[in-house]
Each structure stands twice: as structure tokens, then as C-alpha cells.
Amino acid sequence: MSTLAGKHIVLGLSGGIACYKAAELCRALMKSGVTVQVVMTEAAEHFMTAVTMQALSGRAVFTSQWDNREANNMAHINLSREADAIVVAPASADFMAKLLHGRADDLLSLMCLARPVEQVPLIVAPAMNREMWANPATQRNVAQLRADGVHVLDVGQGDQACGETGDGRMLEAEEILEDLESFFAPKLLKGKNVLVTAGPTYEAIDPVRGITNLSSGKMGFAIARAAHMAGAQVTLVAGPVHLPTPRGVQRVNVQSARQMQTAVAQHVDTAQVFISTAAVADWRPANSSDQKIKKDGSGQTPQLGFVENPDILATVAHSPRAVSGALFCVGFAAESHDLLAHATAKRERKGVPLLVGNIGPATFGQDDNALLLVDVDGARELPHASKQNLAIELVADIARRMG
């Protein structure tokens, strides 16, 4: 389940072409189990109709502070008291200036001003032309809003409706949804640095061929995202996969096992948690050709010798910081059979306090999984679920083990 499930959010729209993204955001929130009450300014109605937002939210849209549908005629009070958060997306430069100065000349700004500040967070997603965003007045307003406790999201970068290109676009609906899920997630790893490896490695035979495996990286990327949601600073060392970087996560791309080992060594000294999710190749070709190995028609196959790759997890797990308890290490085992036996043996061999096992062929490339958590006391199963939900459970388990 999403961390947003069961929440009630007031979604405010101020004027701007990015209102079309608010429709997608409303739909995404609803799919995450959120009830949505839409409030629109007069300017917003020039870009998006209330009919559309009512159809998507399943609730009548409020547009006027004089709306008499509320028995006490105080929509600005009633709507704000019912909300778990007020999200203004898009938030125009003008609307943010209103918020800064406490102006309240329409229902949305009035509601933001009247909300119980300690109980109802205000989250705004800016949207404007690049020059408007860069203007010192806007930047001062954003800085002061954040100082006042308003959660101001980042802006996107790219083509704008005016034909210009730069910073100032409103984030896409899925990006805002990801930020909202992080906002509401318990901060179980706040202040911690977490290092995650994910995906396969690729060991070159020649410039066009290599040895790899079927790992998609999805589990490791889900864990990186879950750790960030839990408040950690996360570095993700990723093998060759085609996955978007989770928001707020620092990504380091590598190809081979030795490159992954180097990247881990560069970041592990500042980490308190190391989660080795990557399916690192056990061997690599002893000699990689600089040119493509060609068939010569003789029927003879090339002779490939192999050497063992470095054991990244075991090396980190036996480091002084890990042995002293300053670094908590978690290993992964993707097996094809006898999961408990192989995962138990691997945990002891690697010397890690927690080993997470799964059946690789059943989960590679999939969006769901089932995990087996193995420690010195035995094993516990995390039943079949989405990889993101399993990642959230795993991160919570790690946080409990760390106290």
C-alpha cells in the first residue's frame, strides 16, 4: 500500500498552463487510495474546467469563497480542517507571493492562511516561465516560504509552453506523487547514509559481447527509493539497467564488477548501512579482446579463460567499520532452488547480520517478489507483494535492527 493510502488531500489549482498536469496528479492520487477535494482559483478556470476535475476526483469542485454549499458558509475553514495536507499544483509566482504576504482574496489563498499550521502541511509545486522562476523576487519568496514551514517542491527543467527552455516547469504528476509519498513516510533512517548496489554487472569478452545476468535492478532501485523515503541520504551504485533514478537519490553508474567495487569503496566510508542488492558476476573473462572476435570458418570456438571477480559484499562485511557495528551490512541471494539452505550458508560465508533471499528466475524483471530474511536466529518470510512495498518493509526491518 502507498504511504498516501487513506489520506485526504485538498488539491489546489492556481492559474497556469500546468493545470493540465493537475488532472493527471488527481488521477494518480486517487489510484494511491487518496480522497481528493479540488479547489480552483478563478485564473485556474481559464486553463482547466471544474467539470474535468470533478469527474476525476468524484467530488464537487470549490471555486469561490462565497460558495453557500457549506452550511456555515465557511468553506475555507471546513475544507482545511478535513485535510491531511493542502497541495497547490500548479502554484504560480503570483500565488506564492500571496502566500508569503498572507493575502487571502480568494478561496484557495484564504484556506491556506486559515489552515491549522501544525496539523495540515502546505505543499506547493511551482510552475512558471524560466525568467519568472529565476527572478530574485521569486527566489526570495521561495526561500521565505520554506523558512515559514511551507514545503516547496523542486521545479522541472525543459521545454516550456512559451517556447523557451529552462527551469520552472511543474514536476510531472508521477514525480509529485513520489515526493508526496516521501513526505508522509515515517523517517526511520533520518540522518543515516545508505549505500545500495543494484542491477547486474557486465563483463566484456570483446567490444560487442559480454557476460551478464537477468537482474533488472528493480528491487535495488525500490530499496534505494524506500531508504530515501525513510529520511536517509542514499547513494545508488547501479549496473547497466534502464531504470529512472529515484527522486532524491544520488546515482553512480558502473558496468563491471571491478567498477562496482571501486564505486562502493569510494562511498562506503561515510555510510551507516550497506545493502548489496546487485547481482554481481562471479567470474569475468581472463582476457578481454580489444577487437571483435571473428569466426574464421574453421569451426573452432575461442578459448575463454575466466578469473574470479572480487567479492564486494564479503570485503565490506569484514571491514573494521562493519565488524565494529558502525556499518550495518545486508546481502542478497538470488537462488534457483533450496532458498533457505543456500541463503543461510551465504549469510555465514559472507559474514553479514542479515541476508535477504529470493528465487531469481521467478522475480527477474518483474514488479513483484517474495523475500526471505535470514539472520542468526533463523528466517522470516515477507510474503509476495510489489517490490516497492517489500522494500519499505525491508527498510523498516533494517531500522529496527539498528535501534
Which residues carry out catalysis? 162
C-alpha 9/C-alpha 34 separation (Å) is: 7
Q: Bin 261: left if φ > 0, else alpha if -120 < ψ < 50, else beta.
A: alpha
- Phi, psi for residue 208 in degrees, rounded to 5: -120, -5
C-alpha 288/C-alpha 306 separation (Å) is: 10
C-alpha 100/C-alpha 142 separation (Å) is: 8
Going by C-alpha positions, the residue among 150, 126, 156, 147 that lies closest to residue 138 is 126
DSSP 8-state assignment for residue 247: T
Q: Check: CB of residue 208 under 8 Å from CB of residue 293.
A: no
Residue in the block written with cell 549496473:
239
How many CA within 13 A on the CB side of residue 40? Answer: 26
Strands 165-169 and 156-159: antiparallel
> What does the radius of gyration of the chain's CA atoms come to, in whole angstroms?
25
Neighbouring residues of 374: CB distance < 8 A, sequence distance ≥ 6: 340, 343, 344, 347, 354, 355, 356, 357
Chain centroid to CA 7: 19
Class of residue 1 by CB neighbours under 10 A (exposed 0-12, middle 13-18, buried 19+): exposed
The x, y and z cell numbers of residue 315, run together, are 570485503
Count of CB atoms situated within 10 Å of the CB of 284? 22
C-alpha 113/C-alpha 128 separation (Å) is: 22
CA 365-263-190 angle, to 5 degrees, is: 80
Question: Which amino acid appears at position 57 of this protein?
Answer: S
C-alpha 113/C-alpha 122 separation (Å) is: 10
C-alpha 96/C-alpha 109 separation (Å) is: 9
